[in-house]
Amino acid sequence: MFDHFYHQIFRKTVISFGTLFNNIQIKRESSDGVAEEIIEVPLAYGPTQKFLARIEQQADLNKPVQMSLPRMSFEFTGISYDTGRKLAGTQHFTTTLKSDKTNIKKVYFPVPYNMDFELSIMTLLNDDALQIVEQILPYFQPNYTLTIDLVDTIGEKRDVPITLESINFEDNYEGDYTTRRVLLYTLKFTAKTYLFGPVKDSTKDIIKSVSIGIGGADTSGAGARNLIYKKPIATKNYSGIVKTRLKLDTLPDATIITVENGSKIKADSYITIDDETIYVRSVSGNELTVTRAAYNTVRAEHVGGSAVYGIDESDNNLISAGDDFGFGG
């Protein structure tokens, strides 16, 4: 029923959320205000209950090989459809692959989903917890926007707002002297991301034929003229195949240009030199009689040895988005 595809959007969103809280540090100072210790707070993915259970079961967490406080953890806790950002499901847009700009693809508009996250901050000292929280909260008012490359094959980047929903605080200081104290802040967030469907080939959707009826017809159709444009014409070279090279320098107003091998060029055809498209009226040996600046390109001077590209049927089949199919000429 469905074609397999996997853009890793959930995974990318989880990783992007986690990177927000990298490199958070706490600083401990002496009574005279001199920094005695700077600690980078470790961050891991996992449920808070697992970390708390480890704290309770491990007698001494100050050893370097064991888990010590402070520590942060985050977890992806839920997902829901966002009706407020709903788009028309039948609409789509066309784009190209990052690796091949001539390969046109069709993608339906994305589906909005909300991803729920929890960030837990566990510390032994209250000042440590306050330092961490104060480094996070100013960035959420209550949103912080991340730009994520959701579908990297087509370079589809989207702004994903991360919203701070709530902050809870817990101090489990009750118990005997053997019970270790843990200060726990729990911050809940919502990431408003998008899900994309499969990227489909849209090359077959390129216009191949246009028929235009022009006025004057009666009810029977008599008197009307039909203009039929059956084949799209590429206005520049797409294949990258070099037909020959210029033998001599060519000035912008020259109507005869000399190439190294005129047998590679056909009369009544188009060629591209640098960014100028040129119409070849006739060929005599290695001399081409031409009309310059075709398809609204700009006359330019070309130096000897410049590549001469042909425009033929292979280029017509590679027409990309943005080409006017020859109508501009």
- Residues 237-275: pLDDT tens digits? 777 788 999 999 999 999 999 999 999 898 988 899 988
For residue 216, give the DSSP letter. Answer: -
Tokens standing for residue 78: 């839920």
Candidates 110, 139, 135; CA nearest to 41 is 135
Average pLDDT, the chain: 79
pLDDT in tens, 28-84: 877 777 777 888 898 888 776 665 565 555 555 445 444 578 889 999 999 999 988
Q: In 227-239, which positions are buried (b, 16+ CB within 10 angstroms) versus exposed (e)?
A: eeeeebbbbbbbb
- 0.95 cut: is pTM over it? no
What does the pLDDT read at residue 3? 76
- Report the alpha-carbon angle 28-34-35, nearest 5: 35
Beta-strand runs (E) in the chain: 25-29, 35-40, 43-45, 71-81, 92-96, 104-108, 111-123, 143-151, 156-171, 183-195, 200-201, 210-214, 225-229, 242-245, 256-258, 269-273, 276-284, 287-294, 307-311
Decide: 117 and 165 in contact? Cβ < 8 Å.
Answer: no
Q: What SS3 class is residue 133?
A: helix
Q: Is pLDDT at 283 greater than 50 in this prediction? A: yes
Q: Which of these, 203, 4, 2, 1, lies nearest to 106 by C-alpha position? A: 203
